[in-house]
Amino acid sequence: MEERPEGLSDADVVDALARQWDLAVSGLRYVPVGFGGYHWSAEDADGGRWFVTATDLARFDSFAGLEQAMSTAVRLAQAGLEFVLAPVPSASGRAACPAGSRYAITVSPWADGIPGRWGDPMTSDDRTALTAMLARLHTVTADLGDVPVKALELRDRAVIEAALRERARSWQTGPYGEAARVLVNDHAPSLARALYTFDELAAKLTATPCELTITHGEPHSGNLIRSDGGLLLIDWDLVGLAPAERDLWWIVSDSGAEAAQYAQLTGHAVSETALALYRLGWDLDDLAEFLPWFRSPHERSADTQTAWRSVTGIVERLAARTPG
């Protein structure tokens, strides 16, 4: 996030690192990268460097869910998956620790390398390497304990349905409120069709037993770091058990090369139905996350501008994907 978190100061972060991780911080710098979490670069008195993330729990299911996900990432790294950049447990062994009533903090080792950015195109070599990484992730056999299960449903479907029902009312909530209402109103048929199509795909997928695997959830360019040792996969807050296509839709190209490589490595034939479901579900979940920003009081900022660009792009993709 480009804007700093409300109600969480640098001093709060330093205090949490000292109390929970026994880190004596000598330098802390806010790093405006990514979208969703708040990040800092921290240096300790011994010269160590750390990447600190604060998650707003209002945007996550619960602290327990976040801690469960991060603990899974820790166990994946311990199981020998060297590409998993997992959190460092606190002094008490927790993968995430609360910071105030609203945030949770995780700490990762600083990784030297070139971080990817959201929207960066993947080369064919990237896709080949990432396909091999996901094949290893999806076939891990180590005991990972209690792993989150990701249901085949939209997290906040009711948000989109409410916006459709209330699109005739004024959304005078801030600089993007009325524009968001008009956007929803103008594309209401395609949004309704997208929800219907998602239900159809989910019904087809659940009609046949489907194997669940450990999935990352967001293996896109923005969650990759190019290091000397190869690609690292970061941001494990959405890790969970799901069909493999929850990850694969990000990397499978029209050439079919990645699907063939994955099938050769794992024996799993990639499902076009599941790819379509997760591709559509990603956009619908993102739309459900951003719409409340504009239906609630808000100001114009770097983050709301980014959210607005995301919403318009999502609605345009949904209209193209589910034509009348």
Q: How do residues 210-234 score in pLDDT, each as one tens digit?
A: 899 999 999 999 999 999 989 999 9
Under the banding of pLDDT at 50, 70 and 90, the label for residue 304 is: very high
The proportion of the chain whose per-residue pLDDT surpasses 90, expressed as a percent, equals 86
- Give me the mean pLDDT over the 102-119 stretch: 93
**50/152 same-domain check:** no
Please give the pLDDT value at position 83: 97
| Across 131-138, average pLDDT | 98
For the cut 70, the answer to whether the pLDDT of residue 265 exceeds it is: yes
Mean pLDDT over 31-51 rounds to 92
Q: Does residue 160 have a pLDDT over 90? A: yes
State the pLDDT at residue 209.
82
pLDDT at 59: 79
- Are residues 320 and 197 both part of a single domain? yes
Mean pLDDT of the chain: 94
- pLDDT at 322 > cutoff 80: no
Q: Is residue 61 a part of any domain in this protein? A: yes
Asked if residue 138 belongs to a domain, the reply is yes
Is there a single domain that holds both residue 182 and residue 315? yes
CATH number at residue 12: 3.30.200.20
Could you tell me if 103 and 142 lie in one domain? no
Overall number of domains in the chain:
2
Q: Is residue 115 part of a domain?
A: no
- Whether residues 132 and 276 share a domain: the answer is yes
User: Using 50, 70 and 90 to split pLDDT, how confident is the model at 142?
Assistant: confident
Q: If pLDDT is split at 50, 70 and 90, which confidence band does 34 have?
A: confident
Residue 177 lies in a domain: yes
| pLDDT of 323 | 66
Quickly count: other Cβ atoms within 10 Å of residue 177's Cβ.
18
Same domain, 106 and 232: no
The answer, yes or no, to whether residue 256 has pLDDT greater than 80, is yes
pLDDT given at position 324: 57
| pLDDT attached to residue 210 | 85
Residues 233 and 203 in one domain: yes
Q: Are residues 153 and 200 in the same domain?
A: yes
pLDDT of residue 119: 85
Residue 78 has a pLDDT of 95
Q: Which of 236-239's residues contact partners 24+ apart within 8 Å by CB, and which partners? A: 236/69, 236/70, 236/72, 236/73, 236/76, 236/84, 236/86, 236/87, 237/37, 237/55, 237/60, 237/66, 237/69, 237/70, 238/69, 238/150, 239/69, 239/72, 239/73, 239/76, 239/147, 239/148, 239/214, 239/215
Domain boundary among 110, 140, 165: 110
Specify the pairing of strand 114-115 against strand 224-227.
antiparallel
Residue 158 domain flag: yes
Identify whether 116 is part of a domain.
Answer: no
Question: Do 215 and 241 form a contact (C-beta atoms < 8 A)?
Answer: yes
List the CATH number of the domain containing 242.
3.90.1200
Domain stops at, among 78, 110, 142: 110
Average pLDDT over residues 233-247: 96
Mean pLDDT of all residues in 75-101: 95
pLDDT at 321 > cutoff 90: no
Q: Are residues 201 and 268 in the same domain?
A: yes
Who has greater pLDDT, 12 or 59? 12
Residue that is last in its domain, among 86, 110, 134: 110
Residue 122 tokens, joined:
């993947």
Which pLDDT score, from 0 to 100, does residue 2 have?
Answer: 81
Indicate if 191 and 260 belong to the same structural domain.
yes
One domain, residues 35 and 184: no
For residue 141, what are the domain limits? 121-324
103 and 126 inside one domain: no
Give the closest residue to 106 by CA, choosing from 31, 224, 16, 229. 16
